């Protein structure tokens, strides 16, 4: 790149590719997968239908939906080598790191490049079983075998607890899975597409994606939202807590978004889910923290247009589903395996190596070496 050319920090507003998967309308707060508004999907579709939509590009007819459900159900069982890999990990490894490691362990001929929809189904189906096995081991509990009669999300809860979950709990978590299934060129998806662009396989891309999801500026925020609600304590203390945090120049977890300059539509939908599933006192506390935070952010960061993002109400929904905080980001990853797979397919279908330029800002060339002597070989 020519010297003096300025880079765009964070690639903000840089259009880094074309995609027919998900429309993120940041100014108006719109979100749609393959032309289906996210509210319509949250209301009407099962997660397996959204997986089908993302992988194959079309909403499934009943027969195709049955086939996708069966394909996912049939792929849940973990082969012996993967069970052994899961059981060999250090028990103290945090669940997200365990999931990332186990996706590496799953690599093999079945996942050779180029990615296929079948590979996507395999990833979506096995990831919950891998995660649940390590989580139960961490808790000192024996593994639970998948139940073919249960849907994808219900089975995930069953694998974690060993109990058949209540229908309301399942639909709440299923809505979360649908809303988190894809989101355009976010950091983890971009990381996956960079990896796929080198003609590396889907699992290598998914491992990179999970690594990118770990940080609190992307997928690592929801448990910190729960921590924040605990720290606030009661609705009456929300104002003072938020003001003090902003005075310390801290970021309020669950607010602000690179793409949305208005409310994240997923936040609104998840708030609706939380209203009917969360403990009423917890919901009331979260609602007051949100109200106070939005006013305080508008005052403290005028012009930044900081609104509630998916992680805020996502955290309350995950709490209501009975998940431990250390499972929040891994659960986000499970939901996103569908979108990551769709992006891998799209990247491979019309690939060009992603290799941007960088503006050099180092010393002028032509310096004299004054360090140690070359040793020769
Ligand atoms: N609380 C307080 N101030 C904030 C917040 C926040 N949550 N978010 C942004 N700001 C401020 C920044 O300090 C900055 O102000 P400054 O210019 O005076 O320093 C300004 O708003 C712009 O912030 P940027 O970091 O430039 O915005 P960016 O688009 O890069 O960041 C991000 C988006 C990372 C999500 C940010 O809003 C944030 O850190 N939020 C809190 C963490 C969070 O909720 N993460 C989950 C994101 S959703 C997801 O990825 C699925």
Could you identify the atom of ligand 1 that is nearest to the CA of residue 254?
44
Task: Given the residues 174, 311, 319, 346, select the one marked as catalytic.
Answer: 311
Query: Hey, which residues does 165 pair with through a beta bridge?
Result: none
Question: At 221, is the pLDDT very low, low, confident or very high (cuts 50, 70, 90)?
Answer: confident
- What is the number of alpha carbons within 13 Å of residue 342 lying toward its C-beta? 25
CA of 252 to the centre of ligand 1 (A): 8
Q: Where are the chain's structural domains?
A: 19-185
Residue closest via CA to ligand 1's atom 50 equals: 218
Neighbours of 214 (CB within 10 A): 17
**Ligand 1 shell residues, CB under 6 Å:** 10, 216-219, 221, 251-258, 301, 304, 306, 309-311
Neighbours of 351 (CB within 10 A): 15
Judged against a pLDDT cut of 60, whether residue 114 lies above it is answered with yes
Confidence at residue 46, expressed as pLDDT on a 0 to 100 scale: 97
| Alpha-helix residue ranges (DSSP H) falling in 106-166 | 117-139, 152-161
Neighbours of 184 (CB within 10 A): 16
Residue closest via CA to ligand 1's atom 29 equals: 258
| Sheet of 22-25, strands arranged across | 22-25, 30-33, 36-37
What percent of the chain stands above pLDDT 70? 98
Closest CA to 179 of 68, 24, 12: 24
Judged against a pLDDT cut of 60, whether residue 3 lies above it is answered with no
Q: Which CATH number describes the domain made up of 19-185?
A: 1.10.580.10
Could you identify the atom of ligand 1 that is nearest to the CA of residue 264?
48
What is the pTM for the complete model shown?
0.95
Residues 6+ apart with CB under 8 A from 260: 24, 26, 29, 307, 309
The DSSP code sequence of 20-60 is SSEEEETTTTEEEETTEEHHHHHHH--HHHHHHHHHHSSPP
Distance CA 335, CA 39 (A): 17
Catalytic residue status for 311: yes
pLDDT in tens, 166-204: 999 999 999 999 999 999 999 999 999 999 999 999 999
Question: At 363, is the pLDDT very low, low, confident or very high (cuts 50, 70, 90)?
Answer: very high
Task: Given the residues 257, 287, 343, 346, select the one marked as catalytic.
Answer: 257
pLDDT in tens, 63-73: 999 999 999 99
Confidence at residue 376, expressed as pLDDT on a 0 to 100 scale: 62
């Amino acid at each position: 790149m020519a010297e003096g050319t300025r880079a765009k920090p964070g690639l903000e507003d840089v259009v880094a590719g074309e995609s027919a998967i998900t429309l993120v309308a940041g100014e108006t707060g719109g979100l749609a997968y393959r032309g289906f508004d996210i509210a319509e999907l949250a209301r009407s579709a099962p997660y397996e239908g959204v997986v089908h939509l993302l992988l194959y590009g079309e909403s499934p007819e009943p027969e195709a939906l049955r086939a996708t459900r069966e394909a996912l159900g049939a792929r849940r069982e973990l082969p012996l080598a993967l069970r052994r890999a899961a059981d060999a990990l250090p028990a103290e490894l945090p669940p997200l790191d365990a999931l990332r490691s186990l996706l590496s362990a799953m690599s093999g001929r079945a996942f050779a490049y180029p990615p296929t929809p079948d590979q996507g189904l395999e990833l979506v189906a096995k990831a919950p079983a891998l995660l649940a096995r390590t989580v139960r081991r961490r808790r000192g509990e024996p593994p639970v075998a998948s139940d073919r009669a249960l849907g994808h999300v219900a089975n995930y809860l069953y694998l974690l607890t060993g109990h058949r979950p209540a229908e309301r709990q399942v639909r709440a978590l299923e809505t979360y899975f649908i809303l988190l299934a894809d989101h355009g060129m976010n950091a983890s998806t971009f990381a996956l597409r960079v990896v796929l662009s080198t003609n590396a396989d889907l699992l290598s891309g998914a491992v990179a994606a999970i690594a990118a999801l770990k940080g609190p500026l992307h997928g690592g925020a929801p448990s910190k939202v729960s921590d924040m609600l605990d720290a606030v304590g009661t609705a009456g203390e929300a104002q003072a807590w938020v003001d003090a945090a902003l005075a310390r120049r801290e970021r309020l977890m669950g607010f602000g978004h690179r793409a949305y300059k208005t409310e994240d539509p997923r936040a609104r939908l998840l708030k609706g889910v939380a209203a009917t599933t969360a403990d009423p006192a917890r919901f009331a506390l979260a609602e007051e923290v949100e109200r106070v935070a939005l006013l305080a952010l508008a005052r403290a960061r005028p012009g930044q247009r900081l609104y509630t993002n998916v992680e805020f109400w996502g955290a309350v929904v995950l709490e209501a589903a009975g998940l431990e905080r250390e499972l929040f980001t891994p659960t986000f990853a499970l939901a996103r395996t569908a979108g990551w797979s769709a992006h891998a397919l799209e990247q491979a279908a019309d690939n060009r190596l992603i290799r941007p330029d960088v503006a050099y800002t180092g010393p002028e060339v032509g310096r004299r070496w004054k360090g140690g002597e070359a040793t020769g070989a």
